[in-house]
A and B are shown apart, each in its own frame.
Chain A
Amino acid sequence: MKLEDHALLDALCGEYIVGTLRGASRRRFERALREEPRVSQRLRHWQEKAPRYSAKMETRPSPRVWRRLEKELGLEQYRAPWFRRREFWAALAALAASVLLILAFIHQVEEPARGLVQIAQLSGTDESARVIAYRSRDGRTLALNATPDMVAGTNRSYELWLIPAEGGDPVSLGVLGALDAHLAIAESERPRLRAGATLAVSVEPAGGSPTGKPTGPIIARGQISS
């Protein structure tokens, strides 16, 4: 006789849930659960009346249990590759955030020492090149920022000149391959790099002026303002 036609089906479901259905009877009931739809339907009917378990029931198992399961079931092969794991991206995002924080901190600390101060704006007669000159706070470096950047090419060089405020011959500060440049200022020139002096860029043969004075056209010039 099938269990689903059993007059005591509800009683069997109840004893199954309570746990007093044991041994062969329990196994028979479980077989019927798989094979007879009305049995599983009736059991579900009763299970749905059961309240949720209380959180007070919970007991934390030792971490050993999971480690053993992971090993015995060979779970590693069913893991998403590292770059698809959510934890990886979460960790990466956290790392990036902390790097940003550190960078911001370093920047804040080092800004006074390494910061650049704009000292002049250089422009040509046709306004084609605009160059902004910066000096580092410690006075050792001069930086040129050109828009658009201009590259001298293989046959020519640019040369940066300082025309002192008190007048006199232009002094070469450096030979440049491109207008976007960083150059070190010789200690002897540092005092002259002050308000009233003029910066100028000339076009020279490759390697710089052969005479020590500007020989080609001046493409940009501007007075140091501070």
Chain B
Amino acid sequence: MLDDGQIRILLLRMGARDAGSAEAFERLYRLCAPLLMGIAMRIVRRSEVAEEMLHDSFTRIWQSAATFDPLATRPVAWMVAIVRNRALDTAASHDVARVDAYEEESLDAFFDWSQGAGTRSLRDCLARLEAAERQALVLAYQHGLSHSELAAQLQKPLGTVKSWVRRGMANLRDCMEGVR
């Protein structure tokens, strides 16, 4: 899986903008494009649209590499945020394409639970949430649904869905911080 240390070095070499920067970028692309494409696909659901997101995101990644502060940010999370932001914006302007029913996929298809600090507590804490809270959070995260899309999807009033998300988040945080 993607290693932050390796990605960080590639980003620094890209930022240098000298002979070899293009190779670093190509390597970064080969490593990260499949994951970023997968994330975009979950949100926009059509490969030609997702590829457009991917193109825009990597353009942005290339342009921002020179100013990217590798110590301040986790590079994989940074790139994921770029793609998600782009995809969320697009999804918001293509409401019609998002009427098909979403299934709450198992988060196991999304995450590799075997690695990463704090992973166990996230998994356990998710399991301890109210079913409605968990479903709202997971759907929103996996498919980038907005509050109103969630409300339509779950056939509940907007206010109810918003409070599920908010409560779910607070409970998750308290659980992970060991408050309860």
Contacts and interface: CB of A to CB of B under 8 A. Distances in A.
A14 B172 contact: yes
B173 interface: yes
Nearest to A77: B22
Nearest to B161: A20
Interface in A70-109: 70, 72-73, 75-81, 84-85
- Majority secondary structure, B binding face: helix
A200 B161 CA distance: 109
Interface string A1-22: 0000000001100110111101
B108 to A, nearest CB: 7
Given A17-B141, A19-B88, A19-B141, A49 B35 contact: no
Interface residues of B, number: 66
Interface in B76-115: 77, 80, 84-85, 88, 92, 108-113, 115
A55 B1 contact: yes
8 contacts: A20-B145, A44-B72, A48-B74, A49-B122, A51-B119, A56-B109, A56-B110, A80-B20
Given A20-B140, A79-B19, A60 B37 contact: yes
Interface of A: 10-11, 14-15, 17-20, 22-23, 26, 30, 40, 44, 47-62, 64-66, 68-70, 72-73, 75-81, 84-85
A69 B29 contact: yes
A70 to B, nearest CB: 8
- Majority secondary structure, A binding face: helix
Contact of B111 (A40, A53, A59, A69): A53
Most buried by A among B2, B123, B141: B141
B37 A54 contact: no
Nearest to B173: A10
Interface of B: 1-2, 17-23, 25-26, 29, 33-35, 37-39, 41-42, 47, 50-51, 54-55, 58-59, 62, 72-74, 77, 80, 84-85, 88, 92, 108-113, 115-119, 121-123, 137, 140-141, 144-147, 150, 165-166, 169-170, 172-173, 176
Contacts of B72: 40, 44
A66 to B, nearest CB: 6
Nearest to B39: A57
Given A14-B173, A18-B140, A20-B147, A59 B73 contact: no
